[in-house]
Structure 1
Amino acid sequence: MASSTDYFKLHFIVFLWGFSAILGKLVTIPAVEMIFFRAIFSALGIGAVIWFAKDSFRVERNDLVKLVLIGFVVAVHWLSFFGAARVANVSVSLVGFATNSLWAALLEPWFNKTRFKKYELVLGLVVLLGLYIIFSFDFQYKLGLAIGVFAGFTSALFSVFNSKMVKRIAPRSITFYNMIGVFLGTGLFLPIYQATIATDHQLHLLPSAMDLLYIAVLAGVCSVYAYTVAIELMKRISVFMIQLTLNLEPVYGIIMAVIIFGQQEKMSFNFYVGTLVIMGAVATYPLLKKKFEKTVLIE
């Protein structure tokens, strides 16, 4: 049963993740190389925490493989999330990411073999309506928004997977092996990236001192701390509720982005109308959940 402290922690890590898009934008090296370094710092950081806390690194071999593969999904999520911010801007990336609750409403019942909740699907469709409003006008960041939507899908996907793993594995261990998976997945992608996408087919593996500082903060605060807390909360809070709360990330992130980056983050009127529709779906969820679950109990 989730407590008020659990929900406070959830909103706090959502705020931190809203700031992660800004940190990613401040880093000057390309997103792929940034994620490669972030994964290294994150794995070392959580490994140090486990070591000094005298926790165990040991997991079953089958679970180890699964956790590393989940890390590959996390790597794809980070690549799409930060890639969307580079292709478009922070605001567009965050709004695309806000579709994660729709994906969670579809994926969680499917993987857990439970019934789909109609009101969750309806709210997911409202999120799509918000995206349609944004797309229906002369919106210049369509590719960035599409990549952001994919980031939302991968966020829901690895959250569903980890929610099953946390039932028998410590959150810190899950985070550690997930970060190993991110490191391996990104490392395997680097040669492909260099040959096909990278500017002048060159990798930027010598970040500046400021880049290293921003990446270290990303790793320590937004990965080691926030990611581990999120996994631990999955013991008591549903994946859909976590993903829906993550829809507040655009609110925090867009406000901070406008303050920090100014004019380049200011969007057209239809963008904010669509964003309000998406946020309205988020605000409506607790009311619908209370109403429909009460109805089920009465029946």
Structure 2
Amino acid sequence: MPNVKLQNYFHLHFIVFIWGFTAILGELITIEALPLVWYRMLTATIFIFIYIKLMKIPLQVSKQDFYLLSFAGAVIALHWITFFGAIKASNVSITLSILSSGAFFTSLLEPLFYKRKIIWYEVLFGLIVIGGLYIIFKVEGEYVTGIILAIISAFLSAVFSLINGKLAKRHNPSRISFYELGCGVGLITIYLLITSVLGKTDLGFTKAFFILSASDWMYLMILSIICTAYAFIASVKVMKFLSPYTVMLTINLEPVYGIFLAFLIFGDAEQMSVQFYYGAAIILATVLLNGIFKNAKKLKRAPFKSNYTN
């Protein structure tokens, strides 16, 4: 079991590295956040559906779980819309840095979701991560819109992680991903149809909405197949072995990976100061300390005992 846990932990880091590349694609794709998320979720849903049919995975879920999956789909859609919106309003570095505050939101929300007491070091680690973020990047006032969108995105990512922590116990990861992405794109489609009927051509389905450049299509395919369909299913799977807080805290490495990739691809436009490396070291140390604390104390939380190995 320890080997299985370690394998899933390293797998999670690989997934987070892929997510770090998602921000790069968000910068490279020229369309706005809303249509970007619509294309991403629609294409990923199609690929996951094909995979489900090939693997003959049953799609039946209870009515109660369908409602929960639909809600999770709405949450992840809003998370991605605010995430890419933050990138468009600021840049990759600011968005990814602030996104790591999701660990702090998780430390506050997890006791409510799983009806357990707040563990002091989880809150402490969340606060340390925020301190690391402050060191990484001191945001200027001109990026206030991007900052607000990134904070909302971080909160939504925490909520989504906690919902999936419950669903991962009862359902196949592919089934969860199909319903969540499918419901998410369905809700966005309804919104776009309504705005089209109301005559808001800048928000609804228009001819321009469906005209994309060749490079946008290429980046969208990478975003949909690798960064969404694969990473989405894999991330739900690892949650069978890792607690939501551990998952969310590990996701805090996304800015480290993403900003590093942004520097390699975009050059000086994303160059970080020495303070970034201090902040990155703090985040990495926090992730490692979290694992040490959990293994040393062998915490056995009732909500996780049948699936999680922490």
Q: Normalising by the residue count of structure 2, what TM-score does the alignment of the two structures yield?
A: 0.85
Change in Cα spacing, 1:198 to 1:133, as seen in structure 2 (3 Å) is farther
Instruction: State the alpha-carbon separation in 1 of the partners of residues 290 and 251 from structure 2.
Output: 13
Describe the superposition over 1:15-35 as per-residue Cα deviations: whole angstroms up to 9, x where unpaired. 111111111111111111011
Match of 2:290 among 265, 273, 285: 285
For 1:214 and 1:138, locate their aligned partners in 2 and report how far apart those are by CA, in whole Å. 30
CA distance in 2, matches of 1:37, 1:213: 12
The DSSP-based 3-state class of the residue aligned with 2:31 is: coil
Q: Name the structure 1 match of 2:85.
A: 83
Gaps of 5+ in 1: 295-299
Match of 1:184 among 183, 186, 203: 186
Deviation track 1:134-163 (CA, whole Å, cap 9, x = no partner) reads: 676745433323322221211111111111
- Structure 2 residue 261 is matched with structure 1 residue 259: no
Q: Tell whether 2:213 aligns with 1:208.
A: yes
Amino acid across the alignment from 1:145? I
Shift of 1:128: 2.8
Moved more, 181-190 or 115-124: 181-190
Residue 176 of structure 2 is aligned with which of 174, 177, 184?
A: 174
Letter in 2 for 1:233: V
CA deviations 1:212-266 (Å, max 9, x no partner) are: 1211111111111111111111111101111111111111110100111112212
Task: Specify the SS of the correspondent of 1:3.
Answer: helix
Q: For residue 83 of structure 1, report the CA deviation from its aligned partner.
A: 1.1
The CA deviation at 1:61 is 2.1
- Structure 1 residues 252 and 133 mapped into 2: Cα distance closer, same or farther (>3 Å)? closer
State the shift of 1:49 in Å. 0.3
RMSD of the TM alignment (CA)?
2.7
Q: 2:150 pairs with 148, 167, 183, which one?
A: 148
Alignment of 1:104-115 (within 5 A): 104-115=106-117
2:50 to 39, 48, 51: 48
CA distance in 2, matches of 1:264, 1:213: 23
Q: Deviations over 1:178-198 (max 9, x none)?
A: 011220232234355984975
CA distance in 1, matches of 2:29, 2:174: 27
Asked if 1 retains the 8 angstrom alpha-carbon contact of 2:76 and 2:160, the reply is yes
Is contact 2:128-2:282 (8 Å) kept?
yes
Query: After TM superposition, what 4+ stretches of structure 1 lie above 6 angstroms from structure 2?
Result: 134-137
1:232 alignment partner in structure 2: 237
For 2:260 and 2:139, locate their aligned partners in 1 and report how far apart those are by CA, in whole Å. 23
Q: Which amino acid is 1:77 matched to?
A: H
Q: What's the secondary structure of 1:204's corresponding residue? A: helix
Q: Secondary structure at the match of 2:60?
A: coil
Tell me, in whole angstroms, the C-alpha distance in 2 between the residues paired with 1:175 and 1:15. Answer: 19
User: Distance in 1 between the 2:21 and 2:119 partners?
Assistant: 32
Kept in 1: contact 2:97–2:136 (CA 8 A): no
Unpaired segments ≥5 residues, structure 2: 300-310
In structure 1, C-alpha distance between the alignment counterparts of 2:201 and 2:282, rounded to whole Å: 38
- Where does residue 303 of structure 2 map in the other structure? none
> Is residue 224 of structure 2 the alignment partner of residue 219 of structure 1?
yes
Aligned to 1:245: 250
**Which residues of 2 match residues 96-135 of structure 1 at below 5 A?**
96-133=98-135
Other-structure match for 1:65: 67
Residues 49-76 of structure 1 deviation map (CA, whole Å, 9 limit, x = unaligned): 0011111122122212221221000001
Once the 2 structures are TM-superposed, how far is the Cα of residue 45 of structure 1 from its aligned partner?
0.6
* Distance verdict in 2 for CA 1:135–1:211, change over 3 Å: closer
CA distance in 2, matches of 1:28, 1:3: 39
Question: Given the superposition, is the C-alpha separation of residues 255 and 52 from structure 1 closer, same or farther in structure 2, using an over 3 Å criterion?
Answer: same
The answer to whether the 8 Å contact 2:94/2:139 transfers is no
SS state of the match for residue 251, structure 2? helix
The answer as to whether partners of 2:75 and 2:160 remain within 8 angstroms in 1 is: yes
1:209 positional shift: 2.0
Deviations 1:243-290 (A, max 9, x none): 111111111110100111112212456566555544443343223334
Cα distance, 1:29–1:139 mapped onto 2, change above 3 Å: same
Comparing 49-58 with 181-190, which one deviates more in the overlay? 181-190
- The verdict on how the C-alpha distance between 1:92 and 1:251 changes in structure 2, with shifts beyond 3 A counting, is same
Task: Report the residue type matching 1:214 in the other structure.
Answer: Y
For 1:98 and 1:189, the matched residues in 2 are separated by: 29
